[in-house]
Structure 1
Amino acid sequence: MNLTAENHRIPLNDGNSIPLLGLGTFGDPQTTPKGTALQCVKLAIDVGYRHFDGALVYFNEHEVGEAIREKIADGTIRREDIFYCGKLWNTFHPPELVRPTLERTLRALKLDYVDLYIIELPMAFKPGKDFYPKDRDGKYIYHHTDLCATWEVSSVKLKKKKNHVECHPYFTQPKLLEYCRQNGIVIVGYCPIGSSRDASWVNVKCPPLLDNELLISIGKKYNKSSAQVALRFNVQRGVVVIPKSFNPERIKHNFQIFDFSLTEEEMKAIEALNKNIRLVELLMWSDHPEYPFHDEY
């Protein structure tokens, strides 16, 4: 696979294509200063990113959309150069809410379309204005919907086969990756270089990925960091990666993975790091009937 900074797209089964490297845009609205996503997405576009992963529940789609529109206006990009993925949040799973929620995303972005719209999590919450509904005792209020019906509505005009899952050297997803390859499905790997160490939703028992000695030693060979090696590992095997960063230097750093390639032996050595350990467990919702992480994949 000949990957370059200018062209690292891979085909989807509907005739479109998706860049292998994207920018995740999650930011805690309580701690992220206003305007951060706007400036970082503009910088990312200047660096060369053409894939952005967002969500209504990030509460910053208006900034991401403004950044894209500004870079279109100044001639840096065209809309068709950008691949934007939006997400349907848990409180909007009833089929009749899907289209209005997508339209809400489009209004926030002030764009005519998104390139992909996915169900963020299979766990439905009680519909309403509160994105995290709780009862008087502080327990989350769940809701039952037919996930297949929700998916059918959300995918009527989006025939792409694409799958968001956790994927990194400590969780390489070999069985799922092989299944997807056989069925023409592209995997998008979140947490490709690890995640925060927030014990409220992250498995902090797993050692920090970027401290791994093998990744560090391979990085020294190519004058790269362990993060760049981890990203290169996945894109080299056709897994899309969406590392999140609002740090300008890291945004630039994460994009610098197209001027080296890993040997077959190095790829196998990194694959052997697999611990089958998830970082994202979301244990606060583990009692939900549709909690997805009890299954192997």
Structure 2
Amino acid sequence: MSLLSFSWCMLVVVVVVVVVVGGFDDQTVLLQNAADKNVSMPVIGIGTGGYASNNTSPHGEYWNDSVAEIAISNWLKLGGRRIDTANSYNDQVGIGKAIRESGIPREKIFITSKVGPGQGSNRSIPSGALGYNDTLTQMDYTLSSLNVTYVDLLLVHWPYDPTHPPTTDPLCRGNTSQEMKACRQSTWKAMQLLFQRNKTRAIGVSNFEIKHLQDILDMGEAIPSVNQCEFHPYFHEFDLVDFCKKHKIVFNGYAPLGTPDWAPWSHKWNSSIGDLPLVKSIAAAHQKSSAQVLLRYSLQQDVVVNPRSWNNDHMKENLNVLDFKLTDEEMKMLNNIPRPKNSKVCPDPAKYP
């Protein structure tokens, strides 16, 4: 796996039958565990991960501060209120400017950011290392870049980093399972401190598999409020979703559309998910777009979404998915779509110790 392919993602034939229970019909979901009281997360957000260093490619939306400022300004005008970013996305300055100039009170906007592995193309940001002091330093950079005093949700971006950026934490210099457990726990100690200092209203993780979450649970301390992982019909880990539900951890799916604008799917998959005849047929039956069907597919499984788009028409579509429901039979068919051999957009964290 190349450094480039890993960095971008920090920016998402098995037959499965799932009985659909619940699903999101409201605009927000209440966060639990390591979250302030009454912190509600909009179930539909906008992703902003896409690296400006790749802008010579004919594929993909590659974000930077100028792109983010325009896109987030439009998102807020359309009624969007949740924004997903990270230090490594190189767009937080632009996002912060758009928020300030929107005229919308800060408390009405939900900002998610991330610390940990990944620097994108901007090497001036603090090392994206796991570890106690590194996490605190990265948070200071996040708040400064966004020009805010707090974020609503802070996530540990990845449970492990194969690129091994320099770390000041002696507990984060190994790569065995036990050494990485100690590193993750040290990082989570820092996350709890940031939460206690009111620099974030909630804390969680991203790309954590059950074994990684268990490392945090074994501490007997604060439990993550959110786990953000790749989720779409080509890749879904229902055991992980169920584990999160059991522990009241909100599951946030990224790449819910399979990143149809980006190149990787084109050499991994025969077809983008939204171009599948089944998805198009379901969309026609509901008079919706394929993208709306895929977002509804996630929401009906209690998975909140943050599709990435800088296109205004697509943003409008993404916000308009709470006025219809897929049938149980449609959900089963979507769950039973044959999965390509390489079904993930991003690297597989299940391979990490």
Task: Give the TM-score category using the shorter length.
Answer: 0.7 to 0.9
Q: Which residue of 2 aligns with 1:60?
A: 91
Alignment-derived partner of residue 51 in structure 1? 82
User: 1:89 maps to what in 2?
Assistant: 116
Q: What's the TM-score once normalised by structure 1's chain length?
A: 0.81
Classify the secondary structure of the residue corresponding to 2:148.
coil
Structure 1 match to 2:52: 29
Aligned residues: 267
Q: Which amino acid aligns with 2:245?
A: R
Quick one: which amino acid aligns to residue 258 of structure 1? L
SS of structure 2 residue aligned to 1:189: strand
C-alpha distance 118-255 of structure 1, shift in aligned 2 (>3 A): same
- RMSD over aligned CA atoms reads 2.5
TM norm structure 2: 0.69
| Paired residues for 1:256-267 under 5 Å | 256-267=320-331
- Is 2:61 the counterpart of 1:42? no
1:150 Cα deviation (Å)? 0.9
Report runs of 4+ in structure 1 exceeding 3 Å deviation: 1-4, 142-145, 196-199
How far has the Cα of 1:193 moved from its partner?
0.3
Is contact 1:202–1:280 with CA below 8 Å preserved after alignment?
A: no
Select between 202-211 and 149-158 the one with higher mean Cα deviation.
Answer: 202-211
- Equivalent residues of 1:54, 1:85 under 8 A apart: yes
Q: Secondary structure at the match of 1:117?
A: strand
Q: How much identity, in percent, do the aligned residues show?
A: 30
CA contact (8 A) 1:172 1:274 kept: no
Q: Give the equivalent residue in structure 2 for 1:134.
A: none
Establish whether residue 229 from structure 1 lines up as the match of residue 293 from structure 2: yes
Q: 1:219-278, CA deviations, whole angstroms, 9 ceiling, x for partnerless residues?
A: 001111111100011112210111111122222222221222222222222222263853
The answer to whether the 8 Å contact 2:266/2:272 transfers is no
**Partner residue in 1 for 2:317:** 253
Residue 251 of structure 2 contacts residue 304 of structure 2 at CA under 8 Å; is this kept in 1?
A: yes
- The answer for the alignment partner of 1:12 in structure 2 is 31
Gapped regions of structure 2 (runs ≥ 5)? 1-21, 56-61, 118-127, 175-179, 196-202, 204-221
Rounded Cα–Cα distance in structure 1 between residues aligned with 2:301 and 2:159: 27
Farther-moved stretch of structure 1 (155-164 vs 60-69): 155-164
Where 2:52 maps in the other structure, the secondary structure is coil
2:214 alignment partner in structure 1 = none
Correspondences of 1:111-126 after superposition (within 5 Å):
111-124=148-161, 125-126=164-165
For 1:36 and 1:143, the matched residues in 2 are separated by 36
What is aligned with 1:292? Answer: 349
After TM superposition, give the deviation of residue 127 of structure 1 in Å. 2.1
In structure 2, C-alpha distance between the alignment counterparts of 1:34 and 1:68, rounded to whole Å: 13
What one-letter code is carried by the residue in structure 2 that aligns with 1:62? Answer: V
Select the residue among 212, 216, 232 that pairs with 1:168. Answer: 232
- Structure 1 unmatched runs, 5+: 129-141, 283-290
Of residues 108-117 and 253-262 in structure 1, the stretch that sits farther from structure 2 once superposed is: 253-262
Alpha-carbon distance in 2 for matches of 1:206, 1:153: 43
3 and 173 in structure 1: CA distance in 2 versus 1, 3 angstrom threshold:
closer
Q: Given residue 68 of structure 2, which amino acid in structure 1 is its aligned partner?
A: A
Matches within 5 A, 1:170-249: 170-195=234-259, 196-199=261-264, 204-205=268-269, 207-249=271-313
